[in-house]
Amino acid sequence: MSILVTRPSPAGEQLVNRLRARGKSAWHLPLIDFTPGNDLPHLAQRLADLMAGDLLFIVSQHAINYAHPWLTQQGVTWPARLRYFAVGRTTVLRLHGLCGLPVSYPDEGETSEDLLRLPALARIEGKRALILRGNGGREVLEQTLRQRGVHTTYCECYRRSPIHYDGEEQGRRMRTLGIDTLVITSGEMLQQFYTLMPEYYRHAWLTHCRLIVISERLAMLARQLGWTDIVVANAADNDALMRVLL
């Protein structure tokens, strides 16, 4: 088995190093880069606008990685009066470790849909919510909260930008390395990698690889693109991916 990890840095390198330490052949090709988001200067004010019992949602650890240093620099702490919700165990542990406040998250699954099934989010009409996230992304969280009568705003804490590669060159390299297993952790990256590869490589190699993804939604997208050998990890963190890959 020769594994290609497309996770961004540093999580991508960390996974590759762990796999190599266990004797696996693994390589890293990050597909996206992160930079500070346009709304960071407004974060402190948007937090201040929330009342006791209002809701704060963090959709990824990248949001915390940019929001926390910014708040610290401004001398602002995470408000204890809010109710915190996060998608994914890694994000929860990161935030709790920084602020010590309780954070609610789904026991099973790491998607917005899983989060929205929490009983605590059943009756929230009239509340305000702030979502810390990146540019673009899925709208399901905001749309559902609005349907439930919540006044919802965003704070773009980070920006994702695709990293550009030569598709022909990367296709040749992947075949030379004997890559037969791909780790892809978002729909955006799956579509990007599929589009990057020239048609010949898609048919001759790409869709014949085993694909490791982190949600059933991602698996469905992969099937539409032509993959048949798909494994869904039960979480998005490197521990869960290691369990699948080993």
Distance, in Å, from the CA atom of 77 to the CA atom of 98, rounded to the nearest integer, reads 10
Report the pLDDT value the prediction gives residue 184, as an integer from 0 to 100. Answer: 97
How far does the chain reach from its first CA to its final CA, in angstroms? 10
Average pLDDT (40-68) is 95
Q: 195: pLDDT confidence band, cut at 50, 70 and 90? A: very high
Contact by Cβ (8 Å): 37, 134: yes
DSSP 7: P
Contact by Cβ (8 Å): 65, 196: no
Q: 111: pLDDT confidence band, cut at 50, 70 and 90? A: confident
Beta strands in 187-237 (DSSP E): 210-213, 230-232
**Cα four-point dihedral sign 57, 61, 63, 67:** positive
Q: What is the pLDDT of residues 205-219, one digit of tens each?
A: 999 999 999 989 999
pLDDT of 68 higher than 80: yes
Closest CA to 240 of 30, 11, 63: 11
